[in-house]
Amino acid sequence: MAEAERIIGTPDTPDAAGNGRERPDGAAAVGASGTDEPAAAGRPRGKRRIAVLFAVAAFAYALDLISKMIVVAKLEHHPPIEIIGDWLKFEAIRNAGAAFGFGEAFTVIFTMIAAAVIVVIARLARKLYSLPWAIALGLLLGGALGNLTDRIFRAPGVFEGAVVDFIAPKHFAVFNLADSAIVCGGILIVLLSFRGLDPDGTVHKD
């Protein structure tokens, strides 16, 4: 338990209902004291987590956007660039489907899903007190924004645009940095869930 507390920075204080979960800073203290001073102290901490989320999202989005601009300007309509022999190449591909080239016939649907993911993450951010969750959601948000930008602004049209992919490992689908951010964020969320850590900073005592 000490390790989990170190990761998310929450005290080992059971909630008033005794449901086997630790609670974020201020929530348990408010129940004990009947005042709102601890809650006021907890709000800046939540704001810092939100700032981390959007900082990670902005970094992932900017990195994806810049890489695609370079690929379109320097690599599209040119031979692939070998990075590690034929095991890893940079090759410009326009992908109308989902991540890694799946479902090219459902471009509009994938666009709507990406937009819904962004809305859900933005709403969840209001209850965010965990730093690892802030990083994970930031990666998801940045990746979703990166590919959604392509869907909206690239040919053949609004909400039907083809995503620019360029990382081409041997015997694997071509992808981009937005896809990588989404996958990394998803893996981190799975790991956090296995460890019992919730976005609001509570810890399951299993």
- Which are the catalytic amino acids? 165, 179
Q: Could you give the C-alpha distances from 197 to 29, 157, 162, 176, in angstroms and in order?
A: 20, 41, 36, 29
Radius of gyration of the chain (CA): 21
Do 163 and 65 touch, CB atoms closer than 8 A? no
The strand pairing partners of 204, in sequence order, are: 21
Q: How is residue 137 written in tokens?
A: 């959601």
Long-range contact set of residues 179-183: C-beta below 8 Å, sequence gap at least 24: 179/99, 179/100, 179/143, 179/147, 180/143, 181/60, 181/64, 181/139, 181/140, 181/142, 181/143, 181/146, 182/99, 182/139, 182/140, 182/143, 182/144, 182/147, 183/99
Please, which residues bridge with residue 90 across strands? 81, 167
